[in-house]
A and B are shown apart, each in its own frame.
Chain A
Amino acid sequence: MQTHHTSPTPRADALAGFNDPSFGDERESTIMLRGSLVGMQVTTYACFLTGLLLAAGGAGFFSALPIFAAAAGGQTISWYCSKHGVSYWELFERANRGRRWTHLTIAILITATWIGVLAFHLVTGSPLVPVSPMLGTDDPGETLIEAIAGALAGLAAVAIVAKLVAGRVRRHEADAPDEE
């Protein structure tokens, strides 16, 4: 994506890679941006879900960390928009009622569930889903090694799938005939 004017947020643009060739041409970059927004929304809910799972597993108030981390996305959007002279919150006020209520309902449900799970832990003294017995070990060193091995295996699997998918897409696009 080419930006022809001096940006008030050059470091943020560099971080996002707006001027990188991977953003493609103007149509592709628009689709990339829209896809990124969808991705950010999914990531936000994934962070909420992680917080819930951590709370259920007995992480206590540490389970709030991913929920706070999820807020960083919205704050960054607001900051970026204001730097470019766009009021994010003013625009958000114009959101149609259905969209606003959907997001509000999900946020309330997740927060209520999170508080409920924490309250269960506080009242009963044990988490909703005791994780330690499931892992079968109390040795933190061994658990850490297993976690690292799992993360590496997951990363390898994601990299292989991404490479296969990208290869198929490239072949499909290269083989497609000229549309007449």
Chain B
Amino acid sequence: MTDTSTVTGGLRAVRKAAGLTQAQLAGEVGVSRQTIIAIERGNYSPSVYLALRAARALDTTVEALFSPDGAPSTTR
């Protein structure tokens, strides 16, 4: 049942460029810091809603933050 594919991408880089810590981003998008860590490590694929909230918090696009496993992420 479990979809083992993950999304990886530029979340960490974009977050750092925005000058946010994982805890600050977690607070912005309303999740725990552990969830941000899991996403950045590629251990968890966020829902569309969470991806959109993260993109909004970092003032970028979802495509800039995430891409299917293996594919390079695009940046704005």
Contact = CB atoms under 8 A, between A and B. Distances in A.
Interface in A157-180: 173, 178-180
A122 to B, nearest CB: 44
B40 A179 contact: yes
Given A178-B22, A178-B23, A179-B37, A27 B44 contact: yes
A105 B40 CA distance: 42
Secondary structure of the A contact surface, majority rule: loop
Contacts of B16: 180
Contacts of A180: 16
Contacts of A179: 22, 37, 40
A126 B60 CA distance: 75
Interface string A146-162: 00000000000000000
Contacts, number: 32
A73 B50 CA distance: 32
Secondary structure of the B contact surface, majority rule: helix
A28 B32 contact: yes
A25 B31 contact: yes
Nearest to B47: A26
A163 to B, nearest CB: 21
Interface residues on A, range: 10 to 19
A111 to B, nearest CB: 28
Contacts of B47: 26
B21 interface: yes
A173 B23 CA distance: 11
A27 B33 CA distance: 11
Given A173-B34, A179-B37, A179-B40, A26 B21 contact: no
